[in-house]
Structure 1
Amino acid sequence: MRPFKYSRTESSTEAVSQATANKNAKYLAGGTNLIDLMKEDVERPDELIDVTRLELSEILEITEGENRGGVSLGAMAKNTETANHPLIRMNYPVLSLAILAGASGQIRNMATNGGNPNQRTRCAYFYDTAMPCNKREPGTGCGALEGQNHLHAIFGWSENCVAVHPSDMCIALAALDATVKVEGANGEMRSIPFTDYHRLPGDMPEKDNNLEHGELITAIEIPKNNFAANSYYLKVRDRSSYAFALISVAAGLELTGNTINLARIAMGGVAHKPWRALEAEEFLKGKEATQANFEAAAAAEMKNARTLEHNKFKVELGARAIVRALNLAKTGEKV
């Protein structure tokens, strides 16, 4: 690990000011991904700004504004307390399921809501500094493109990068139409729709999201919805715990009887960002919640997949996962 400057702040404005002044500065919250990357010499910040004392850990019902009736997740709240919070378990059980499917209990106890969306890919070529990786070192090439790529993307990838986003929590947040609240220089606040927060690789795979340097996540807001009774998070992985998704699906259905008024579906393990299954959602709107319609919706989504040499299995696996997640959402499986 390389030498770095460490400072602690109790003011978000001060934290943003410090980070903005140094292009090589990083925020330190839970540190569950950043510290590992520093140890591997993948991330090389020369300054860490400790934001763990910022008063941004509340989980509250939103009582005013466009998301009134929804919930605000403080950026410094830990993943564990978020998953187990009564408001989340009752009104957004798909988020509880997604968080509890991620990492280990010890890591969830440390990881924060603001840090989770900013974790970086677990692509082996990204972590191995002896291998080419455009995400780690732009212009060097993508080792996974013609390498061992069974874990890699089938949607939205480019010749520059085929890595996938690793988060479970973010898949549920994408399905729930969440909004990321950020503070920038001079106290400027802005909101980023969750579906716009992360980026596809294009020709800039080194840039994971649309944050400007120095901007600090203060909260994540989830609007009120009618998915609580009929939602589910399904994660398919190589082993039953502490493994990243081969395919994951967050599904929510708003039903009147057996008719689907609205569907929300997001997928993990398939793209550089949480992948909203918009074609499947559109297909299901107004239709009956039947096995045949679930299968047709999955087929509509997966027909646009572009596979690599070793991940062709993800097309059928993805379709089956969508169908299973929708069936479990329909029956109202609970946390």
Structure 2
Amino acid sequence: MNRFDYVRAGTVAEAVQAYGAGARFIAGGTNLIDLMKYEVEKPGRLIDITRLPLDGIEAHESGLRLGALATNAKVAYDERVAAQYPLLRNAILAGASAQLRNAASTGGNLLQRTRCYYFYDTATPCNKREPGTGCPAIGGVNRIHAIFGASESCIATHPSDMCVALAALEATVRVSGPQGERTIPFADFHRLPGDSPEIDTNLAAGEIIVSVDLPESKFPQHYTYLKLRDRLSYAFALVSVAAGVELDGDTIKTARLALGGVAHKPWRNREAEALLEGKPATRESFQQAADLIVSEAKPQSANGFKIDLARRAIVRGLEQAAAGTPQSLSDKRIQ
């Protein structure tokens, strides 16, 4: 681990002012510290933001505001989240371990970096770690990699479970920086790799996440978070599905779908969501949406299985959501 300066900020303004080239904000540190140990990240300054008053959860307009420093555990076990946004709760509890959820922050969850083997191995080239060096995952070990939105520069995936649910819920990210405060729709927060895979988000230099704002709840009963992984106890998703539907009898009024484990960011297909609206909540409708989504998939040499896995997961997720029988948190076997 490299040597670095350490600054503890007392206010958001102090944190922003302390930021400079090579600096990183740190809260729970559940990802950043690992990256530093592996010498993937070598910040010259760490700005400790754990003392900022950003750990609250409060009503906001017609929804809920999650402070950037609210831990994953605090969010998951908040009664309002459980009642109004159970999709988010289930996604959080499907990820990481209890110890990590007790430390990891809401803002930090959004800023997780990929778990690509090559990204973590400094003995190999990686465009995300060192731009211009290449992407050995293309044609290499790529079983866990993207089938949507990848580029010739990077085929890594975003690892978060929480973010998949936030994408389906159409959250908004509130940030503060040198130019003041602004809000970023969740769909625009993360970037696809393109020619600049080293840039994960659309945050400007020195901007800090202040909160994640949830809109009015639409899916308190008809939702599911379905996570498919190599082992049930603790693993990142090969494919995950956050699904929420509003029903008028047996007809779908509104549908929201987001996939994890398949792209550089939580993956949504608005055409598939629109296709479902006004359709009966049947397996046939769900299969049509799934077929539309996976029609855009571009697999790598070792992850073609993800296409059929995603198709089946989408159908199963929509069936669980429509029936109001979300994936069990205690029995993680697929129902």
In 2: Cα distance, 1:228 partner to 1:277 partner: 22
Counterpart residue type for residue 100 of structure 1: L
Confirm or deny: 8 A CA contact 1:267 1:277 kept in the other structure: no
Q: How many residues align?
A: 327
Residue equivalent to 1:15: 15
Q: Describe how 1:1-335 pairs up with structure 2 within 5 A.
A: 1-19=1-19, 22-62=20-60, 68-185=61-178, 188-333=180-325
In 1: Cα distance, 2:278 partner to 2:285 partner: 11
Counterpart residue type for residue 96 of structure 2: A
Residue equivalent to 2:332: none
In 2: Cα distance, 1:221 partner to 1:23 partner: 29
Q: Please give the TM-score of this superposition, normalised by the length of structure 2.
A: 0.96
Confirm or deny: 8 A CA contact 1:103 1:241 kept in the other structure: no
Show CA shifts across 1:81-105 (max 9, x none).
Answer: 1011011100010000000011100
Report the CA distance between 1:333 and its aligned residue. 2.6
Confirm or deny: 8 A CA contact 1:73 1:219 kept in the other structure: yes
Report the CA distance between 1:154 and its aligned residue. 0.4
Residue equivalent to 2:333: none
Counterpart residue type for residue 185 of structure 1: P
Counterpart residue type for residue 238 of structure 1: D
Question: What's the % identity of the aligned pairs?
Answer: 56
Report the CA distance between 1:225 and its aligned residue. 3.0
Q: Tell me, what secondary structure is at the counterpart of 2:238?
A: strand
In 2: Cα distance, 1:226 partner to 1:113 partner: 21
Counterpart residue type for residue 252 of structure 1: G
Q: Tell me, what secondary structure is at the counterpart of 2:233?
A: coil
Show CA shifts across 1:211-251 (max 9, x none).
Answer: 01110000000100321110110000000022000000000
Counterpart residue type for residue 64 of structure 2: V
Show CA shifts across 1:196-222 (max 9, x none).
Answer: 000000000000000011100000001
Question: Any stretches of 5+ residues in structure 2 without a counterpart?
Answer: 330-335
- After TM superposition, where is structure 1 displaced by more than 4 Å over at least 4 residues in a row? none
In 2: Cα distance, 1:333 partner to 1:221 partner: 26
In 1: Cα distance, 2:113 partner to 2:176 partner: 21
Counterpart residue type for residue 5 of structure 1: D
In 1: Cα distance, 2:104 partner to 2:197 partner: 24
Question: Any stretches of 5+ residues in structure 1 without a counterpart?
Answer: 63-67
Counterpart residue type for residue 136 of structure 1: R
Confirm or deny: 8 A CA contact 1:278 1:301 kept in the other structure: no
Q: Please give the TM-score of this superposition, normalised by the length of structure 1.
A: 0.96
In 1: Cα distance, 2:93 partner to 2:221 partner: 18
Residue equivalent to 1:65: none
Show CA shifts across 1:88-128 (max 9, x none).
Answer: 10001000000001110000000000110001000000000
Confirm or deny: 8 A CA contact 1:70 1:222 kept in the other structure: yes
Counterpart residue type for residue 9 of structure 2: T
Report the CA distance between 1:253 and its aligned residue. 0.0
Show CA shifts across 1:40-77 (max 9, x none).
Answer: 00001010000001001111111xxxxx2111000000
In 1: Cα distance, 2:217 partner to 2:102 partner: 27
In 2: Cα distance, 1:110 partner to 1:225 partner: 26
